[in-house]
Amino acid sequence: MDKALGQALLLTMIFLPLLMAVVVIFIGSGNPGLVKRLSLGTTLVTFALAVILCISYKPASMDDKHITPGRPLATANDPFQPDSQFTIEETWLTFHPGGNTTGPVEIKFHLGVDGLSLWLMALTALLMIPSVLISWNTITDRPAGFYALLLTLETGMLGVFSSFDIILFYVFFEFTLLPLFFIIGIWGGPQKRYAARKFFIYTLTGSLLGLVALVGLILSRAGLDGGRITFNIIELVHNTAVNGSIPYGLQFWLFLGLFAGFAIKVPLFPFHTWLPLAHVEAPTAGSVLLAGVLLKLGTYGFLRLCLPLLPEATVMIGVPLVCSLAIIGIIYGAMCALAQDDIKKLVAYSSVSHLGFCMLGMFALNAEGITGSVLQMVNHGLSTGMLFLIVGMVYDRYHSRSLKEMGGLASKLKLIGFFMVFAVMSSAGLPGLNGFVGEFLCLAGIWTISPIYTMLAALGVLLGAWYLLTMLQKAFFGPLKEPGKPAEQEDDHGHAHDDGHGHAGSHAAHDDHGHGVIKDLDFREWMILAPLAFFCLWIGVYPKPFIDVMKPEATALGARYVEPLKALPMSSSILAPVRMPGGKR
């Protein structure tokens, strides 16, 4: 594809939603029909652009990079530096710091796409469509504001995945907080204000520490890189490989700073407390995007910044710390999910568990693990997105999410039941669906670090199947039990669950179904679930095209860790894992 055209494509894809958000605000809530159609149109166009982006993206060939001029072979273990495509690089502002640094320092407006970010961008664009559609009838309070915030959020999320300048990355990373704060806080459930604030402050605290660490990282590199300060991620990765990394003592603290920023977002085990609350209180679209995309900002941050820029710290403290927390998270999340009565909360805790697999795969620090991790990010977005959407649909019909009140819904809502089974299977990792491929790669990757990790994580897979199937069995199979039946009690019930103001719309939606007659999927809901199910199936059956794109970058990143991992003192890990045959222990 032509260079200028590629740049225009990327820019349009990222900033069209923001532009349309402004338009939507000016149309105002007086014309909800137009607002909704315009928002849907925008997300469809953005998704179409994402599809074009995916088709015209050429996976980096490992051989090409060797001989590309101006991109010398970095080290023996580091065959090439990942480069971005569709790159836009404009100077944003320039410093002349003087002192012992050379040359001006530039913060750039640097966007691009590479193998690690392509599928996450596509996922973001895809999940926006169901997010708009699911809100179609439920959001009646100030719809213009709601859709404008959703579209703004899309720009923020796409921006994070396509930033190749550290400051720009951080700007987008923080920027996603604002729309989601309002989405949860205005249109959320009964505890929305508390949930929104907790989410905001928790994430902000982490990311401010992350910012200090980023600043420290960049300025401490100046001495190693001949006094040149750069914010360009690709250049920093290259310099780290060629000129060596900063002293371990400093890396240790910088890693902890970045860890604070990203681990809260993921969320890793002790930092996850904001998540169930935010997920449960958010409107369905908010939950879908929060689980589907925003949690990935944390994992993506680790992948993009920690792994390539702080190699020693990643091996020395990253592996034991993150892997242990990830495993605790996998098991703890699953246990919590098992204990939930509220389906939405159950799905929220399942996120804690599933993201553990992502982190575990990533910190296997080899090609399989990293590939699996990125794939698992996409998979989790698809399957958890579907779960949240179906929970939202059930809630729209019955105004309840309590497992105790439901039973045998599949006999009445056959299609919803079908999709629920599908989503559960995908999430639980049934072979033939997407979850299996991702989890398998992650577990295969971590095996080389420690088989004990693999076994513990596999236990998590088992627990995952347990809580998901229990939920399925309670709510969708067995004798029919519908919440709020008989019909006289229905209204009271609806009120009991409707303390918040944001749900005025759900009543209206409920009434549309006509005097207590609960209908199965309508056309809109088909359009919400079918595309997601399609991609779940595709990745499950034929994942090669998805894996091929990210393989070069994952291989490059993994290759860098071959040597450092040999020196890993295994006893430093909390779980004291055993080395593979031939290892030191």
Query: What residues line the site for another protein (CB under 8 A)?
Result: 92-99, 105, 142, 167, 170-172, 174-175, 177-178, 181-182, 185-186, 192-193, 196-197, 200-201, 204-205, 208-209, 211-212, 215-216, 219, 257, 501
Minimum separation from the CB atom of position 536 to another protein (A): 35
Identify whether the C-beta of residue 361 lies closer than 8 Å to the C-beta of residue 445. yes
Minimum separation from the CB atom of position 151 to another protein (A): 15
Minimum separation from the CB atom of position 93 to another protein (A): 5
| Residue whose tokens read 């929104």 | 196
Minimum separation from the CB atom of position 215 to another protein (A): 5
CB closer to another protein out of 211 and 289: 211
Q: Could you tell me the two tokens for 105?
A: 């320092």
Q: Could you tell me the two tokens for 44?
A: 């469809």
**Torsion-angle region of 514 (φ positive above 0: left; ψ -120 to 50: alpha; else: beta):** left
Give residue 333's identity as a one-letter amino acid code: G
CB closer to another protein out of 281 and 490: 281
Give residue 450's identity as a one-letter amino acid code: S
Minimum separation from the CB atom of position 236 to another protein (A): 16
In 3D, which of 150, 157, 133, 158 has the Cα closest to residue 187? 150
Minimum separation from the CB atom of position 124 to another protein (A): 19
- For CA atoms 492, 493, 496, 498, give the dihedral sign: negative
Give the separation between CA 336 and CA 486, rounded to whole angstroms.
32
Q: Could you tell me the two tokens for 174?
A: 């923080």
Largest CA distance in the chain: 78
Give the separation between CA 82 and CA 63, rounded to whole angstroms.
13
Cα-based angle 177, 180, 183 (whole degrees, multiple of 5)? 155
Minimum separation from the CB atom of position 185 to another protein (A): 4
Identify whether the C-beta of residue 386 lies closer than 8 Å to the C-beta of residue 529. yes
CB closer to another protein out of 281 and 396: 281
CB closer to another protein out of 186 and 347: 186
CB closer to another protein out of 205 and 473: 205
CB closer to another protein out of 203 and 506: 203
Give the separation between CA 301 and CA 266, rounded to whole angstroms.
9
DSSP 92: E
CB closer to another protein out of 214 and 461: 214
CB closer to another protein out of 175 and 252: 175
Minimum separation from the CB atom of position 184 to another protein (A): 9
State whether residue 58 is helix, strand or coil.
coil
